[in-house]
Each structure stands twice: as structure tokens, then as C-alpha cells.
Structure 1
Amino acid sequence: MTSVSLVGPGEGPIVLDVPAPAAPVRVPTNRRYLMCPPEHFTVEYSINPWMDPSRPVSTELAMRQWTALKETYERLGHRVETIEAQPGLPDMVFSANSGTVVDGKVLGARFRAPQRAAEADHFRRWFLDNGYRDVVMPECTNEAEGDFTWTGRYLLAGTGFRTDPRAHAEAQEVLGVPVVSLQLTDPRYYHLDVALFVLDDDLIAYYPDAFSPGSRSVLRRLFPDAVIATEADAACLGLNAVSDGRHVVLPVEATHLAEQVARRGFEPVFVDISELRKSGGGPKCCTMEIRD
């Protein structure tokens, strides 16, 4: 065994024991992200099993955690754009749910929950104000990168709780990429991005028990070398992670998952998202990737 010192959100490094054999050399690529500060974050309604309006929520702490996440991306060399938070939209911080961008084409969102519906138009206007003209707002319910995950080859598309399965065909037509439909079955993992994330080209991590038997078979065929997450990995929203091809930004509690990705040659980078998790969100939920 060899000890690997990783970046943690608090004082001092987090040390993991990783087997000594050489892993593949991973090369990061610079990314561009769109984020929204949680200036109005709270939990005042419940639209997923994580949300409990009776629990205390600190907007100040959520803001500190979000700022640390943003600064982590910038320290890793990524470009972060921001959109102005709007009063009355406490979940707007979860920008990943409001757009899917592939090759400069933008497919907007249509939320299932009426409490979030107004978010979609704010993001639509952001794209238009920033020079995007190929912006399509969907006819079918589609919660964007919450349920759409671009691998570089396929658009993995989740359904079962939020996104209408008909939105998968709509995404294929608008974005012009092949779509693979996946059925989610566990209400705790109501979006694809809390059950699966892309590490690098043709390599994903996922929690099998979040998916139907047929979808698990599809994932095994497409990604036979995938990192398989445990129940504990999923339960701390460890799979709501962001990879740039080398660095993997994930919740500080996801130590087992971090060990697994480190064995594959990636560098885990821990962040604390405990307050944002009260609304069922983590690093990826706060991060829309803009792929021009």
C-alpha cells in the first residue's frame, strides 16, 4: 500500500491508502462552468426525500460552501461564470438542472415541480445575453444535467422521477447526439446525477441499485470497467461529483469512492456540501458545464 494525501475542505490533508501498482496517467482538461450563488437558499418545500422544511438551514453556511466549491474549480484552472440569483427561487443554486450544452447547442429545462419552473427562463435569458443563439426550450419535462449526462460519446438520459422519457428523443433531435435511456428506481436518487457521473472518456462511476435491471445491463455493456459505488457512497451524494479528466471534486464524506477513483489514477478533491445536501444537492448539482 502507498499513502496518498488529498486536498480536503478543512485543516490538514486527508490521507487514503491506495495500492502501489501504477494507475493510468490522467490528464485534466480545462472546463467552463455556470454557477448560481445560493443567496436565497433555504428549504421551504419538499420535492425529494432529502428535503425537510422543518430542519434548520443556514443560508450563510450554504454560501460559504458554494464559494469554496467555486474557488476549488478556479484553483484547478477552470473558468466559472455566474448567473444572478433570484428571490423566491431557493433551488436556483442547482444550476445543472437548467440547461444541457453540447457543442454550443443549448437545450433548456422544463421543471416537473412548479416551485422551480421560473428558473428555466432566467437561464434561457443568460444564454441569449451571452451570445448563444442556438437555444431551444423543451416541450417535454426535462431537468437538464440533472438527468442528462454527456460522456463525450453518448448522452446518458435518466427517467423515472423527474424527466419525461419523451424528453430523451427531444434531446437527441435538438443536440444531435446519441441518447441512451436509463430507468431510475430509487426515489432517493431521483436524478441521474446523484446515481452516476463521468470520470473520463468511456469511464463512469455509478450505483447499480439506483437503476432498473435492464438499465444495469446496459451500463455493464457500455462501461464494463466502471467504478461501482457502494450504498454509503451514494447515501452521502458522493456520485454527485465533477471530474475534469484528472481531478474529481466530490463530497468530503465519500472516502470509499475517493479511494476507488484514486486507484484508477484520478486525484480526488474533497469539498463540504453538507448544507446544500439538505436540499438533495451536491457539487454537480451546483455546476452546469458549458461545452462550446
Structure 2
Amino acid sequence: MLRQSHFVPPVPMIIATETGLFDRAGVHVTSTDTRGSDAQFEQLAAGEQDLAVTAFDNLFAWNRRGIRLRAIAQTERTTPLALFTQPDISHLEDLTDRTFAVDALDNGFALAARRILADSAVTVRFEEVGGVRERMQALVAGDVDATLLGPPFDTIAQQHGLHRLASINELLPGYPGQVLVTREDILSSRRDELQRYVRVLEQAVELARRLTDEEGIALLAGTGLPDSAATALWNERPRTLRIDVSGLIIVAGVRRDLQLLPEDQGDLSGLFDASFASEPKQAS
């Protein structure tokens, strides 16, 4: 059995679960909602989790903390994160000297936010709060002024009257979605099991390709997701699980601009294993 942590279940996993693909393949995966990227790393390091769905950027930081990890699949085409603020904030410049909640300051999607703010010469007070649920709760409670949120928490924020200022994709085009990562020793010792898992996710990607948008959104909404969240996740679902190297280059560029790219991180190929995911099938 594989153990996986994630902020929100990726669309291929939802589809594979709802349509019985896992059961038919005899693949068993237990999933846990994470408290944040630090918790994901600690669980991977301690052997409490085998896999994590997380921001690609996290590998830059995690691989310098004592264990080696690699991405084996990309579970989002891009990230549907958006910048949410208190209602009185209508421009990026209005965030000057306000509090901005992040998961971890020096890795993950927080770096995308830092790059966007730096481009606009906006200085904020960053506060590490935790995972997306905790950040949403802090924003709703008025404890912070801004944060990044994705489905379904963005819908909840809007229901509470909070302001959607802009999306990461609008402000930083090409920034990649989350990836599936595991430790290098698990890659060696459980490769066949991991390959079976990725193969089922690819079957879910292919099944999604044959669904209409209405059918796909209805499938996701049937799991309890709000319609707006189901729509956003469906739109950003992966068309292939292959690693988007161009997106990884953008991530490295963000780190370089923030002077956070390790000097010895010239070879990005060490951050992923391309042997798991297949080439995408052509649309018929």
C-alpha cells in the first residue's frame, strides 16, 4: 500500500477513485490532507508517507535537508492558485506593509508570490501560517491581509466577501502545477508499485480526455466540491503526467531572481525521473 499526502486530491486521483480504476488494477493508496509543506517533508523523511503532491519548488529546498526526493509525475497542468485579500485591498500596491500568509517563506508557491510582489516593488510582512486551509481560515478571521488560495478554499473565501485580486497564472504565466514526489530509495525499492500507481493515474487522464467538460465537472462536483471549484480543477487537470520541464525552468528562474537558487543546482534533471509517465496521446 502506498501512502500519500496532498493539499487537495489531484483530479486524476479523484477520477480513478470515483470510476473504480484503482480497484480494478489492484492498486491501494491511502491519502491524507497535509497541514503544510513542512509537514509533508517531515513525513517523507520519517517514512510516514511514501508520496506527496506538492509544489515543484519544494524539491529545491527539501533535497538540501538530508534526503533525496524526485518528482515522478505532474498532477496539475498549471496551478489554479489566486491571490486573495481583505475587501479594502484592490491593487497590489495596497498590500504595502500588510500581512501576507504563506505556507513556508523560502519554498513552494510562496516564492511565486514573493516574485510577483518584488516585480511591483511591494513590501509586505510575511507570516508562516501553514497549509491552504489554515491560510484561508486566517484570512477569513482577519488575522492576515492576503494569501494564495486554490479550489475549493478560494470559493469559501469569496463566500466570506474576500477579494480575489489576481491569479498566479495571470501574473506569472507558465508557472507549473503540483507534482507527485517520492524519496529516491523508494524509487529503487518499490518502482513496480509506483509504476502501477502512475499507470492508473494515466488511465484517469485518458478517461478525462473522453469526457465532455460538463461530464467532468459533474464528476468532480459529485464528490462534494462546489461547482466553481470543480470547474477550476477540471480546467487545470493534466493532459499528461509528464514533467513540464519548461515550467521547472520558470521555477528555477524565480529562485534565481530571488537569489535563492543553490549555486550547485545547475542540472535540473536531478529533480525528476521521467521514466514513469508516458507521452500524451493525441486527441482524436
TM-score of the pair, normalised by structure 2: 0.26
Higher relative CO (CA 8 A, sep ≥ 6), structure 1 or 2? 2
TM-score of the pair, normalised by structure 1: 0.25
Indicate the structure with greater helix content.
Answer: 2
